[in-house]
Amino acid sequence: MNAWRNNEIGAFINADDKLKQNSGMAKPKGSKRAFGNILECKNAFKILTVEDDSDHTDNDKQETVGEEPNRKDSGTQMIEGKPELPQNNHNDPQNNMNLDRESQIVIIGDSIIKHIIPKKISSRNVTKITFPGKTVDEISNKLDQIKLKSTPSHIIIHAGTNNLPVDTAETCAEKVGQLASKLKTKFPTSRIGISSIVTREDCDLTDKIRKTNSLIAQTCLNQDYGFINNENIDRTTLNGSKIHLNAKGSAYLAVNFIKFIREAIKRPPKQEQGKETVEFISDLTNIPWQTVFRTSDPNLSWNKWKELFIGTLDKHAPVRHIRSGKHTTPWMTAEIRSAMRRRDYHKKKAIKLKSDSHWHNYKSLRNKVNKLIRETKSTFYINKISECAETKDLKKCWSTINSLLGKQNKSNYISELKVGENVITDPNLIAEHFNTHFINIGVYPDGNDTPNECGENLDFSDTNIHSQTNNKFNFSLIKVDSVLCNLKHLKANKSTGLDAIPAKILKLAAHIIAPSLTYIFNLSLQSGIYVNDWKRARVIPIFKSEDKSKCENYRPISILSIVSKVFEKEVFRQVYTYVNESNLLSKYQSGFRPQHSTLSALIKICDEILNNMDEGKINCIVFLDIRKAFDSINHNILLSKMRSNFGISGNELLWFESYLTNREQQ
Q: Are 211 and 172 in contact (CB under 8 A)?
A: no
Q: What is the pLDDT of residue 97?
A: 42
Q: Tell me, what amino acid is at 93?
A: P
25-34, 99-108, 336-345, 606-615: least confidently modelled range = 25-34
80-89, 409-418, 460-469, 583-592: least confidently modelled range = 80-89
pLDDT band for position 453 (cuts 50, 70, 90): very low
* Interhelix angle 650-660/510-527, nearest 10 degrees: 110
More confident residue, 597 or 304: 304
- The rounded distance, in Å, linking the Cα atoms of 459 and 641 is 9
More confident residue, 248 or 609: 609
Q: What is the pLDDT of residue 323?
A: 67
pLDDT band for position 326 (cuts 50, 70, 90): low
- The rounded distance, in Å, linking the Cα atoms of 6 and 597 is 39
Q: What is the pLDDT of residue 468?
A: 65
Nearest to 404 by CA among 420, 383, 426: 383
| Beta bridge mates, 238 | 245
More confident residue, 157 or 33: 157
pLDDT digits (tens, 9 = 90+) for 431-441: 888 888 888 77
59 to 53, 235, 242: CA distances (angstroms)? 16, 21, 13
pLDDT digits (tens, 9 = 90+) for 216-241: 888 888 788 888 888 888 878 888 77
- The rounded distance, in Å, linking the Cα atoms of 174 and 184 is 15
CB atoms within 10 A of CB 63: 23
Helix (H) or strand (E) holding 13: strand 12-13
Residue 394 has pLDDT above 80, yes or no: no
147-161, 524-538, 554-568, 643-657: least confidently modelled range = 147-161
Residue 570 has pLDDT above 90, yes or no: yes
Q: What is the pLDDT of residue 35?
A: 36
Q: Tell me, what amino acid is at 422?
A: N
pLDDT band for position 483 (cuts 50, 70, 90): very high
Q: What is the pLDDT of residue 654?
A: 94
**Domain ranges (residues) in the chain:** 104-264, 279-316, 334-405, 480-665
- The rounded distance, in Å, linking the Cα atoms of 305 and 311 is 10
pLDDT digits (tens, 9 = 90+) for 11-66: 333 334 433 344 333 444 444 333 333 333 333 334 443 334 333 333 333 232 33
Q: Are 523 and 516 in contact (CB under 8 A)?
A: no
pLDDT band for position 69 (cuts 50, 70, 90): very low
Q: What is the pLDDT of residue 372?
A: 92
Fold of the domain spanning 104-264: Rossmann fold (3.40.50)
Average pLDDT over residues 584-595: 83
pLDDT digits (tens, 9 = 90+) for 602-613: 898 999 999 999
- The rounded distance, in Å, linking the Cα atoms of 298 and 523 is 6
3-state secondary structure 244-302: CECHHHHHHHHHHHHHHHHHHHHCCCCCCCCHHHHHHHHHHHCCCHHHHHHCCCHHHHH
Q: In Å, how far from its chain's centre is CA 186? A: 24
- The rounded distance, in Å, linking the Cα atoms of 105 and 124 is 8
Average pLDDT over residues 559-579: 93
pLDDT band for position 83 (cuts 50, 70, 90): very low
Average pLDDT value for the chain? 76
More confident residue, 457 or 379: 379
The torsion region of residue 447 among left (phi > 0), alpha (psi -120 to 50) and beta comes to left
Q: What is the pLDDT of residue 597?
A: 83
Q: What is the pLDDT of residue 61?
A: 31
pLDDT band for position 274 (cuts 50, 70, 90): low
More confident residue, 467 or 133: 133
Could you tell me whether strands 126-130 and 76-80 are parallel, antiparallel, or unpaired per DSSP bridges?
parallel
209 to 127, 212, 233, 435: CA distances (angstroms)? 27, 5, 13, 56
- The rounded distance, in Å, linking the Cα atoms of 49 and 111 is 6
% pLDDT > 90, the chain: 21
> What is the phi/psi pair of residue 483, to 5°?
-65, -40
| Beta bridge mates, 154 | 105, 191
Nearest to 434 by CA among 417, 447, 421: 417
Chain length of the chain: 666
The torsion region of residue 35 among left (phi > 0), alpha (psi -120 to 50) and beta comes to beta
pLDDT digits (tens, 9 = 90+) for 505-561: 999 898 899 999 999 999 999 999 999 999 999 888 888 878 888 888 888 888 999
Average pLDDT over residues 363-385: 89
Residue 466 has pLDDT above 80, yes or no: no
pLDDT band for position 73 (cuts 50, 70, 90): very low
Q: What is the pLDDT of residue 610?
A: 94
| Beta bridge mates, 157 | 108, 194
560 to 307, 659, 664: CA distances (angstroms)? 18, 13, 11
160-174, 254-268, 594-608: least confidently modelled range = 254-268
- The rounded distance, in Å, linking the Cα atoms of 68 and 83 is 11
Residue 320 has pLDDT above 90, yes or no: no
Q: What is the pLDDT of residue 367?
A: 93
- The rounded distance, in Å, linking the Cα atoms of 558 and 665 is 8
- The rounded distance, in Å, linking the Cα atoms of 303 and 568 is 19
68-77, 164-173, 552-561: least confidently modelled range = 68-77
SS3 of 540, please? Answer: strand
Q: Identify how many contiguous H helices and E strands the chain contains and give both numbers.
A: 19, 15
> What is the phi/psi pair of residue 329, to 5°?
-85, 115
| Beta bridge mates, 13 | 4
Q: Are 501 and 562 in contact (CB under 8 A)?
A: yes
Q: What is the pLDDT of residue 41?
A: 39
